[in-house]
Chains A and B, each alone.
Chain A
Amino acid sequence: AQKVTQAQTEISVVEKEDVTLDCVYETRDTTYYLFWYKQPPSGELVFLIRRNSFDEQNEISGRYSWNFQKSTSSFNFTITASQVVDSAVYFCALSEADLYNQGGKLIFGQGTELSVKP
């Protein structure tokens, strides 16, 4: 069965600190997609990144970076030099490939609430 685990429920850092949000997933499929979303207090989900299971290259986008390791089934997210505006709940999610393009359900982790203090 599919499962996404974000063991860190809450993280609190001081501005300019680096912070890593952990994500561990379980799936029996060889083809799948991993996502990270940000949910600010307004509630609207903000898409951050998508990775397919065949692309293990790490990605960097500004202060954000992602480390995908299939060997440990992890897809961790690091924010460098955190800012107060980064305060939000962050969700990791998994979608298994659907050959008939009808499924692709997203399974979300429990979320990590990040609080960045000035």
Chain B
Amino acid sequence: GAVVSQHPSWVICKSGTSVKIECRSLDFQATTMFWYRQFPKQSLMLMATSNEGSKATYEQGVEKDKFLINHASLTLSTLTVTSAHPEDSSFYICSARIPGTETYEQYFGPGTRLTVT
């Protein structure tokens, strides 16, 4: 159980275009989802916390107008990178928590590798 999927697994887009990444909890409902970004040879950095039915909470330094997050249902959160540029090329990973648990364990998706040309 507790499977999280991401789609697409990789995407190449042209500079200036927008790309949407989906994060789904397949066998549980997730009131809270997290979006991370990982540059090559670096750690995972939290970008934002996505709560179902409310606005996402962005970490300091993350442009909320550039990285649009929508958590419209209990099983789906989307991250849209608007007007992508080559410096946005990265590995984007989402995670989800099972509500009501006290262990704070997050279940991670397989990641989406974005390349902006």
Q: Do A and B bind each other?
A: yes
Does A111 lie within 8 Å of B43, measured CB to CB? yes
B42-75 interface (Cβ within 8 A of A): 42-46, 49, 51
Enumerate A60-118 residues with CB–CB distance to B below 8 Å. 91, 95, 97-98, 101-111
Decide if B25 is an interface residue (CB 8 Å cutoff).
no
Instruction: Find chain B residues with CB under 8 A from A43 CB.
Output: 91, 93, 110-111, 113
Q: Chain A interface: which size bin?
A: 20 to 34
- Name the prevailing secondary structure of the A interface residues: loop
Report how far A102 CA is from B57 CA in the complex, Å: 11
Per-residue A-contact encoding for B15-37, CB less than 8 Å = 1, 0 else? 00000000000000000101000
Which B residues between 79 and 97 are near A, CB-CB below 8 angstroms? 91, 93, 95, 97
Do the beta carbons of B108 and A44 come within 8 Å of each other? yes
Query: Does A33 lie within 8 Å of B43, measured CB to CB?
Result: no
Is A50's beta carbon under 8 Å from chain B? yes
User: Do A108 and B43 touch across chains, with their CB atoms under 8 A apart?
Assistant: yes
Assess whether A33 is in contact with B104, with CB atoms less than 8 Å apart: yes
What are the residues of chain B within 8 A of A106 when measuring CB–CB? Answer: 34, 44, 46, 95, 106
